[in-house]
A and B are shown apart, each in its own frame.
Chain A
Amino acid sequence: MSTTVTDPPSAAGNATDLAVEVEGITKRFPGVIANQDVTFAVARGTVHAIVGENGAGKSTLMKMLYGVQRPDEGTIRINGESVSLHSPADAIKHGVGMVFQHFMLADNLTVTENVVLGAEKLHGIGAGARAEITRISDEYGLGIDPRDLVADLGVGARQRVEILKVLYRGARTIILDEPTAVLVPQEVDELFGNLRELKREGITVLFISHKLDEVLSVADRVTVIRRGMTIDTVLPQDVTSRQLAELMVGSELPTPQTEESTVTDRVVLSIADVTLAGAGRTVLEDVTLDLHAGEVVGIAGVEGNGQAELVEVVMGMREPARGRIELEGTDISDWDVRRIREAGVGYIPEDRHRQGLLLDSPLWENRMLGHQTQEPASKNGILTNAAARTDTERIVREYDVRTPSIHVTVGSLSGGNQQKLIIGREMSHAPKVLVASHPTRGVDVGAQAAIWDLIREARREGLAVLLISADLEELIGLSDTIKVILRGRITGEFDPDVVTSQELGSAMTGAGKDAS
């Protein structure tokens, strides 16, 4: 599978002392395969990282280990014993605890109260519990005072309280879901110190992340997951952050081919000096880019570096603090979403379930969504259902949406077919600009190729496409220009004809200073 990394020494080492073994795990949701034949093993007393892009299936896998969901196929062994986990309580019984990305603490209670909540039987709720918390805190160097009010604690300390909570319940294996996402760099260092301490005391840590540098600095083993499958398990000293990124993003997928350039010199969408303030920091800073008719501009970046916010600003869901956005020379910066969409900006949202569709509504009603003010959805404020249905039939035919009828709920279709419906709908209103956010995320390979074709066709017809993707092959294959976004800034521009995934990967992590 992997091409650049030498044969992984995954099976080597102390194979007898495995804390967790996962073998052949498959989990399907309607229309989506979240995990397929996932296999890896975690040695006791190590930090084992699971890396993969968002949507690669990491979270589902962890939920199965924690008993929140159950695998359709495959076995989970904990300490050599095959287990069937029905609930988090089961998982705890087997010594597996999980710390979620979003903390589950009551602010107005003390540390002790938070820790004993739901585990009152273990050491009571009074002095006994406090003594135990102090003991755990000292043993693992967590530095937690049981009498503190949680509301007074910082983010890092709250995370340590969460870790303490699972240790208190007797966990010997701790799953941390994206633990660094909420931390500032100093806190990250502190957390890594704690993890090393835990490791020394024989605790096993499963660490989920997509921040490669962090993973390499703290993990003893790294398992890479892509599209629900285990790609490889590697030792951090054997790989560079670039190679890891390549494993994560993959290169053996059907490669999108760039065709003859159709780029014109007519600017359709112009974004100038856009700055967006977020909670406590700037999420976008002086972003400037032009989209020409017939051009696909790809935005490459590690998730969470401002891509989502850039899309929201362009679509009018957020107001930029500074800067201008012009559509064919008209300033649209302070227009609302509806007006922007009516003016000819098509939108393929990042999360089609949350933003692109009404899952419990039939296909033809979803055909109207986002275009409810335009024909064929409505006329003078009155819905024209019949016209919308007819047009939905056309979209189903022309865009090859596999469905038994346009009257079934869109939620019963597979991800790829849902996405084809969305693209068909957006393309049906003669857009000038198409904002495509992760257009092939979570769709099968066949639909992926079809969607690429559709985007290429849009480009041929003179659309300006803003393509945001985590899939570097997709970006390189479809884009005419690739811009790299890092911490809310456009930090580099690449020509997709000559750039390699490695170069992009290092520019995305800010590793290669020679980028632009």
Chain B
Amino acid sequence: MKFSPRRLVLTLAAPVLAVVVAFVITSLVLLAVGDPVAKVWSTLLSEPRPRTLVNIVNSAITYYIAAVAVAIGFKMKLFNIGVDGQYRIAAFAAALVAGQGWLPGGLNIVLAMLVAMLVGGFWAGIAGWLKVTRGVSEVISTIMLNTISAGLVGWGLRTWGTRAEGSNTRNTTEIPESSQLEGLALVADAPNRVYTLVVLAVLVGIVYWFIINRTRFGFDVRATGESESAAVASGVKVPRMVLIAMIASGAVAGLISMPAFFGADHSYGLNFQEGVGFIGIGIALLGRNHPVGIAFAAVLWSWLEKASDGLQLQAGVSPALVYIIQGVILLAVVIAYEVVARFERRMEQKQVTRQLDTATPEGASA
């Protein structure tokens, strides 16, 4: 797309508008219940301490991959609600394999990631296959598969997990030390480190951008998302694309927990972070399915979350306030995108008519 200042302004208008609306509404809520408005915002917006900053980045890494997984489906108008189940079952399978330490160090990590992608892709593929062959809505099937995956993982943990001395929870075998990633000291003065697999998130973003925007396959995906009937007439086999897109979405979903797994957890157990798939839906929406937009949205999301920890202590307000902010941002952003898109379309139509009226005086002969 050719760069134009107007397009840039319009692209940024919607998310900025949404955040502003969220700011106003949240302030009104705070006023209504008599909480200190100024104090809340100064707490949320103050510069985070180095330690918190690292936490923000780390959780943004996880959210970023989740949002890209969702965005792949969105590009084809597929609503993959099942990212949550896909990454859970993938993470468990990867933890089982990695715990065995069949391969040394780095290779073990690569193997685990491959397993995670395979399992995640397979799990999402079930929903894709059901949609293609039986017309089952992916919304329904993925949400069912979420529940099934939770049950399966619970059963698997009982079967293959071990209980550490003096603990009453089960974990998978811890991965060998050679496969544990120490992290990158990107933030000065921080006692903790950024996950090494931030590299993975960046890579996922780049590959996603390249495939969608620069390959023929990506063109087919976009065409299908924009107009299925036009895609069919252009020779796209839509059922096949649905299946591939679901599998790809699931494969990326499989990678969600990898940075945290190799960087901090080292085994699958009680401290596994749940619900990331659903957070990914919101972030993909806010980031407009764009690899850079998603990055900003992921950082904003985890910033709000981490900054909320201080609310109770410093402002005496429940950290749950952040859920209100996030919820309002999402509602507002959906509306704002639609409003801006309509405005943009009308502007362009007017502009085209105007330019043609003035620019083609020889228009008499046809």
Interface residues, chain A, with chain B CB atoms under 8 Å away: 30-31, 315, 317, 336-342, 347, 349, 351, 354-362, 365, 368-373, 377-378, 381-383, 385, 400, 402-405, 407-409, 411-413, 446-447, 449-450
Among A315, A336, A383, the residue within 8 A (CB) of B214 is: A383
Contact present for A358 and B352 (CB under 8 Å) = no
Q: Which residues of A contact B214 (CB under 8 A)?
A: 382-383, 385
A317: B residues at CB distance < 8 A: 232-233
Say yes or no for B363: interface residue by CB 8 A criterion: yes
B2 within 8 A of A: yes
**B168 contacts partner chain A, Cβ-Cβ < 8 Å:** no
Q: Which chain B positions have C-beta within 8 A of A360?
A: 226, 345
**Cβ 8 A contact of A408, one of B217, B235, B348:** B348
Please give the distance in Å from B224's CB to the nearest CB on chain A: 10
Is A372 touching B220 in the complex (CB atoms < 8 A)?
yes
Measured between beta carbons, the chain B residues less than 8 angstroms from A351 are 229
- Asked if B331 is at the interface of the complex by the 8 Å CB criterion, the answer is no
Within 8 A of A (CB), among B202-244: 213-220, 222-223, 226-227, 229-230, 232-237
Complex Cα gap A370–B231 (Å): 8
Q: Check A381/B217 contact, CB under 8 A, given A412-B352, A446-B366, A447-B366.
A: yes
Q: How far is the CA of A371 from the CA of B363 in the complex (A)?
A: 30
Give every chain A residue within 8 A of B222 (Cβ-Cβ): 358, 361
Q: A336-B235, A368-B219, A383-B215 are in contact. Are A355 and B230 (CB under 8 A)?
A: yes
On chain B, which size bracket covers the interface? 20 to 34
Contact of B159 with A by CB under 8 A = no
Considering the chains assembled together, what is the distance between the CA atoms of A313 and B366 in angstroms?
34
Which chain A residue shows the least CB distance to B210?
Answer: A382
Q: Mark B331-366, 1 if CB is under 8 A from A, else 0.
A: 000000000000001001101100110011001001
Given contacts A356-B230, A404-B355, contact A369 B223 (CB under 8 A): yes
- Please pick, from A337, A359, A372, the residue contacting B219 in the complex, using a CB distance under 8 A: A372
Bound Cα distance from A405 to B359, whole angstroms: 11
Contact B216 A357 (CB under 8 A): no
Residue of B with least CB distance to A371: B234
Measured between beta carbons, the chain A residues less than 8 angstroms from B355 are 404
Q: Nearest CB to that of A362 among chain B residues? A: B1
10 residue pairs bridging A and B, Cβ less than 8 Å apart: A340-B235, A341-B234, A368-B219, A372-B223, A378-B215, A383-B214, A409-B348, A412-B348, A412-B352, A449-B366
Q: Chain B residues near A378: list those with CB within 8 A.
A: 215-216, 219
Shortest distance between the CB of B218 and any CB in chain A (Å): 8
Minimal beta-carbon separation of B2 from chain A (angstroms): 4
Chain B residues lying within 8 Å of A362, measured Cβ to Cβ, are 1
Are B234 and A383 in contact (CB-based, < 8 A)?
no
A368-B219, A402-B356, A409-B348 are contacts. A336–B229 as well, Cβ < 8 Å?
no
- 5 A-B pairs with the lowest CB-CB distances in the bound complex, closest first: A338-B235, A446-B366, A404-B355, A370-B234, A355-B233
A369 touches B215 (CB 8 A): no
Q: Determine if B345 and A358 form an interchain contact, defined as CB atoms under 8 angstroms apart.
A: no
Contacts of A371 in B (CB 8 A): 234
Taking a contact as CB atoms under 8 Å apart, the answer to whether A383 and B235 are in contact is: no
B288 to chain A, nearest CB (A): 14
Residues of B contacting A411 in the complex (Cβ-Cβ under 8 angstroms): 345, 349
Which one of B227, B345, B356 lies within 8 Å of A403 (CB-CB)? B356
Q: Which residue of A lies closest to B227 (CB)?
A: A358
Distance to closest chain A CB from B364 (angstroms): 9
Kindly state the separation between the CA atoms of A336 and B232 in the bound complex, as whole angstroms: 10
Complex: A31 Cα to B353 Cα, angstroms: 9
User: Residues of B contacting A370 with CB < 8 Å?
Assistant: 233-235
Residue contact A359 to B227, C-beta cutoff 8 Å: yes
Report the minimum CB–CB distance from A227 to chain B (whole Å).
Answer: 16
Q: Given the complex of chains A and B, what is the CA–CA distance between A373 and B215 in angstroms?
A: 10
Report A-chain residues with C-beta under 8 Å of the C-beta of B229.
351, 354-355
A434 to B: closest C-beta gap in Å = 15
Pair A369/B234 contact, Cβ less than 8 Å: yes
The distance in angstroms between the C-alpha atoms of A354 and B223, with both chains bound, is 12
Least CB separation from A312: chain B residue: B233
| A369-B230 in contact given A382-B214, A382-B215 (Cβ < 8 Å) | yes
Pairwise interchain contact A407-B2, C-beta atoms closer than 8 A:
yes
Q: How far is the CA of A403 from the CA of B363 in the complex (A)?
A: 12
Is there an interface contact between A337 and B233, defined as CB atoms closer than 8 Å? Answer: yes
A450 to B216, CA, bound (A): 32
- Shortest A338–chain B CB gap in Å is 3
Chain A residues with Cβ below 8 Å from B356 are 402-404
- Which residue of the partner chain, among A355, A357, A368, A404, contacts B352 with CB atoms under 8 Å? A404
- The residue on A at minimum CB distance from B359 is A404
Task: Judge whether B230 and A403 touch: CB under 8 Å.
Answer: no
CB closest residue in chain A, given B229: A354
Q: Which residue of B lies closest to A383 (CB)?
A: B214
| B230/A408 in contact, CB under 8 A | no
B366-A337 in contact (CB<8A): no
User: Which of B2, B222, B360 has the most chain A CB within a 10 Å cutoff?
Assistant: B2
Q: Is the CB of A402 within 8 A of B363?
A: yes
Minimal Cβ-Cβ distance residue in B for A400: B366
| B226→A383 contact, CB < 8 A | no
Q: Which residue of B lies closest to A350 (CB)?
A: B233
Complex: how many Å from CA A378 to CA B234?
A: 14
Contacts of B217 in A (CB 8 A): 381
| Given contacts A315-B233, A355-B233, A358-B226, A383 and B348 within 8 Å (CB-CB) | no
Closest B residue to A380 by beta carbon equals B216
Closest to A357 in B: B230
Contact B232 A403 (CB under 8 A): no
**Which residues of the other chain, A, contact B359 by a CB distance below 8 angstroms?**
404
Q: How far is the CA of A31 from the CA of B223 in the complex (A)?
A: 23
Q: Could you tell me the distance in whole angstroms from the C-beta of B230 to the nearest C-beta in chain A?
A: 6
In angstroms, Cα B356 to Cα A416, docked, is: 14
Which residues of A have CB within 8 Å of B232? 317, 337, 355
Q: A30-B349, A361-B226, A402-B360 are in contact. Are A450 and B234 (CB under 8 A)?
A: no
Residue ID in chain B nearest A385 by CB atoms? B214
User: How far, in whole Å, are A449 and B216 apart by their CA atoms in the complex?
Assistant: 35
Contacts of A31 in B (CB 8 A): 349
Chain A residue at minimum C-beta to C-beta distance from B7: A407
Chain A residue nearest to B347 in the complex (CB): A412
Chain B residues, Cβ within 8 Å of A405: 2
Taking the closest CB of chain B, its distance from the CB of A107, in whole angstroms, is: 18
Residues of chain A within 8 A (CB-CB) of B234 are: 337-338, 341, 369-372
| CB-nearest residue of chain A to B360 | A402
Give the distance in Å from the alpha carbon of A342 to the alpha carbon of B234 in the complex: 10
CB distance from A442 to the nearest CB of B (A): 16
Task: Tell me the bound Cα distance from A349 to B359 in angstroms.
Answer: 30
Complex CA–CA separation, A472 to B189 (angstroms): 81
A336 to B200, CA, bound (A): 38
Cβ of A381 and Cβ of B363 under 8 Å apart? no
In the complex, A450 Cα to B223 Cα: how many Å? 29
Distance between A397 CB and nearest chain B CB, rounded to angstroms: 13
Minimum distance in angstroms from B80 CB to a CB of chain A: 23
Report which of B1, B213, B216, B345 forms a contact with A381, defined as CB distance below 8 A: B216
> Which residues, 135 to 171 on B, are CB-close (under 8 Å) to A?
none
Query: Pick the contact of B366 from A357, A372, A450 — CB < 8 Å?
Result: A450
Task: Tell me the minimal C-beta distance from A206 to chain B in angstroms.
Answer: 30
Q: How far is the CA of A486 from the CA of B236 in the complex (A)?
A: 31
**Inter-chain contacts of B349 with A (CB < 8 A):** 30-31, 411-412
Of B217, B226, B349, B352, the most chain A CB neighbours within 10 A belong to: B352
Complex CA distance for A355 and B217, rounded to whole angstroms: 19
Bound complex: CA of A281 vs CA of B352, how far in Å?
47
Contact A407 to B233, CB < 8 A, known contacts A358-B226, A378-B216, A412-B345? no
The residue in chain A whose Cβ has the minimal distance to the Cβ of B217 is A381
CA distance A493 to B268 in the complex (A): 75
Set of chain B residues within 8 Å of A349, measured between Cβ atoms: 233
Instruction: Determine whether the beta carbon of A408 is less than 8 Å from that of B366.
Output: no
Taken together as a complex, chains A and B put the C-alpha atoms of A317 and B235 apart, in Å, by 9
From A347, A356, A365, A372, B216 is in contact (CB under 8 Å) with A372
